[in-house]
A = this chain, B = another copy of it.
Amino acid sequence: MLGLVVHEPLANGGLRLGWGVGHHVLDLLEGARALDHYAFEVRDFDGVAAIRDRLQAAGYTVSSVDVDLIDSSIGHAHGISVVDPDGNTVQFHSPVWRQGEGAATPGRRPVKYQHITLGTTDVTPLAAFFTDIVGFQISDQLDDGRFAWLRSDKDHHTLAIVNVGEAGNVDHYSYDLAEWEDFKSWCDKLTEYDVDVAWGPGRHGPGNNLFVFFDDPAGNHVELSAEMEKFYDDRVTYVPRRWEPLPKTVNLWGGQTPSWRRVGGTA
């Protein structure tokens, strides 16, 4: 579903964890580290068609996804593919079974794939593509326009976009943990496998979610997350919030910020 490219073959110990975490949401391809494509599951059965119609009305070329690539579809499998303003391929496909997700956890409660954060050189057009055409809504943004968090269901964000100075990039991808208790368990388990924590544990301002980051064997940042804020668009009207670009915004608790997550003047 989320296409990443790794440098190294799977047959090494270090890779096992990343593999264990994301084994059914990552297509691993040989090649240079780059974003091949990313994809969204659309819960509503008519939703894929509606997105296709809006994309075509906006002048985008939409192609079909080979249904053989959509495992365990619920009902009739179908999917579409389009190139986003950054030139990335993005897919939208019909719902799939989720029962296997818990099974990947190497020692703690279930983990589900939660969101991807795209790296770009300009947040505005990419955010506009997702809000104006695809149908996402902005939950939060940095006041300097360099970071935006977008939702497509009750989760505060299922997609985020950050200015990292280059386009066509995955800033990080994120999985859900059940609760704070699991953060100790995962940090200890990562230590057992010689994988360093890269940032946190902490709590984000936008989304209010607990987080910890580590890198997968290909060097991508991976986030584990819990307690994300929920939105109820069926019963309340939200105005996107604007946050000061401060370290205390990306980690409410404070502490050191890693070199790849500078906010404010140093992004």
- A254 near B197 with CB under 8 A, answer yes
Taking the closest CB of chain B, its distance from the CB of A214, in whole angstroms, is 8
- A243 near B239 with CB under 8 A, answer no
Q: For A202, list chain B residues within 8 Å (CB).
A: 187, 197
Tell me whether A65 is interfacial, beta carbon within 8 Å.
no
Taking the closest CB of chain B, its distance from the CB of A265, in whole angstroms, is 15
Taking the closest CB of chain B, its distance from the CB of A59, in whole angstroms, is 30
- A99 near B103 with CB under 8 A, answer yes
- A246 near B242 with CB under 8 A, answer no
Per-residue CB contact flags for chain A residues 92-117 toward chain B (1 = under 8 Å, else 0) read: 00010011101111111110100000
Q: Which of B10, B201, B235, B252 contacts A248 (CB 8 A)?
A: B235
Per-residue CB contact flags for chain A residues 163-203 toward chain B (1 = under 8 Å, else 0) read: 00000000000001010110011011011101011111111
Tell me whether A258 is interfacial, beta carbon within 8 Å.
yes
> In whole angstroms, how far apart are the Cα atoms of A110 and B110 in the complex?
10
In chain A between 188 and 222, which residues have their CB closer than 8 angstroms to a CB of chain B? 188, 190-192, 194, 196-203, 205, 208, 210
Q: For A178, list chain B residues within 8 Å (CB).
A: 107-108, 185
- A98 near B235 with CB under 8 A, answer no
Classify chain A's interface size. Answer: 35 or more
- A13 near B44 with CB under 8 A, answer yes
- B106 near A103 with CB under 8 A, answer no
Q: Which residue of B lies closest to A201 (CB)?
A: B201
> In whole angstroms, how far apart are the Cα atoms of A74 and B254 in the complex?
28
Known A104-B99, A192-B154; contact A244-B253, beta-carbon cutoff 8 A:
no
Q: Which of B75, B191, B234, B254 contacts A203 (CB 8 A)?
A: B191
Tell me whether A124 is interfacial, beta carbon within 8 Å.
no
> In whole angstroms, how far apart are the Cα atoms of A244 and B11 in the complex?
30
Q: For A252, list chain B residues within 8 Å (CB).
A: 191, 232
> In whole angstroms, how far apart are the Cα atoms of A76 and B12 in the complex?
11
Tell me whether A20 is interfacial, beta carbon within 8 Å.
yes
16 contacts between A and B (CB under 8 A): A16-B95, A20-B98, A99-B104, A100-B103, A105-B110, A108-B110, A153-B192, A180-B181, A180-B184, A184-B210, A199-B255, A199-B256, A235-B246, A238-B241, A239-B239, A239-B241
